[in-house]
Structure 1
Amino acid sequence: AKFVPLAEEARLIAPIGEWVLRTACDEAARWDLPVRVAVNVSPEQLHNPAFVGIVAQALAQSGLPPDRLELEVTEGVFMREGTVAIQVLEKILDLGIRLSLDDFGTGFSSLGYLARTRFSSIKIDRSFVQGASQGTKEAIAIIRAVVALADSLGMATTAEGVETEEEHHMVQTLGCTKVQGYYFGRPLPVHEARALAMRPMGGSVAA
């Protein structure tokens, strides 16, 4: 929780983010599996017009097909003035890369940009999942509203931070199409994650 703010304060988040992107693409390209790798990117990266070239270069050097890369952005990217980030996102989409809107509902409610940007999925923040599991009417209503909004825009919904069977059942009942969290497993070293991905589970897999 402290690392990212410190990296942003030291103006290191962009080079760190670039290293993460290149490393993730290199590793995913080594997997002879239809696995999509998801990489978080910061608002600072997206407000740099050169970022599109960085992404394209990472794909070219690794040999990873564009449809196996998904970039996750937060609503914070829409809080800065100007349209640079929107243009960058559009160019990234033109490369064939998928976009997800992370932690939706916890920051700036960017409904206008959500309609204009071709996100593949909306990720519902853990705080709403936890609140809904505790019977909080507001959290339940928000999840239902996000699911309905995503459905109307042709987007999937991912419930984040699911930790119990009860939460898993609840978010499925509320209509979430994808689920992630410690209920399914904790972060793994690369070799263990690869072994897990090779198990026959059916459906698509994202790392």
Structure 2
Amino acid sequence: ITESALMDNQDSAAEIFHEIKKRNVQLGLDDFGTGYSSLSYLHRFPLDTLKIDRSFVSRMNESPGEHEAIVRTIVNLAQNLKFKTVAEGIETIDQLHSLQKLDCLYGQGYYFSKPMPADEAEQLLKENRQKASKTA
């Protein structure tokens, strides 16, 4: 769910999200930090994950102080609220290492893979499992 989608109709969204959570579905807030970013809705909606917008990740190593501080703050906030964090737009090993140092445990981006159809993703996961079992 994107931040902007939440803000369109907060009451309706909260009601729908609570119904979805009753079915044991995990909910994540996408593009966190770029939209309305009201911290009050982090308690209002039953979220499990904050996805850090790629605009912060892409600039982490260009101007490390400011953008890294923003990412660190989002990761710390998420950890304190018992949310997972996913960094979007990881494209370099330096970005990955910086995020790992900040304890951001999940990521997505071209560094790992280009977007692919579900059947290709399934095949990739099978191959990786086979490789992992051979080295264990």
> Given the alignment of the two structures, is residue 78 of structure 1 paired with residue 6 of structure 2, yes or no?
yes
SS in 1 for 2:59: helix
Gaps of 5+ in 2: none
Q: 1:191 to 1:82 in 2, by over 3 A?
A: closer
2:48 is aligned to 120
2:94 counterpart of 1:166: yes
Q: TM-score, normalised by structure 2?
A: 0.87
- Please report how far the alpha carbon of residue 132 of structure 1 lies from its aligned counterpart in structure 2 after TM superposition: 0.9
Which range moves more in the overlay, 144-153 or 129-138?
A: 129-138
RMSD: 1.6
Name 2:37's counterpart in structure 1: 109
Question: What is aligned with 1:198?
Answer: 126
Matched residues in 2 for 1:148 and 1:192: separation? 34
Aligned residues: 130
TM-score, normalised by the number of residues in structure 1 = 0.59
CA deviation digits over 1:83-106, x for unaligned, max 9? 111101111111111101100000
Which residue identity does 2:37 align to in structure 1? S
Counterpart secondary structure, 1:133? coil
Matched, 1:99 2:27: yes
Residue 82 to residue 119, structure 1, CA distance change in 2 (3 Å): closer
Counterpart secondary structure, 1:181? coil
1:1-207 equivalences in 2 (<5 Å): 73-81=1-9, 83-199=11-127, 200=129
**Partner of 1:148: helix, strand, or coil?**
helix
Alpha-carbon shift at residue 187 of structure 1 (Å): 1.5
**SS of residue paired to 2:8:** coil
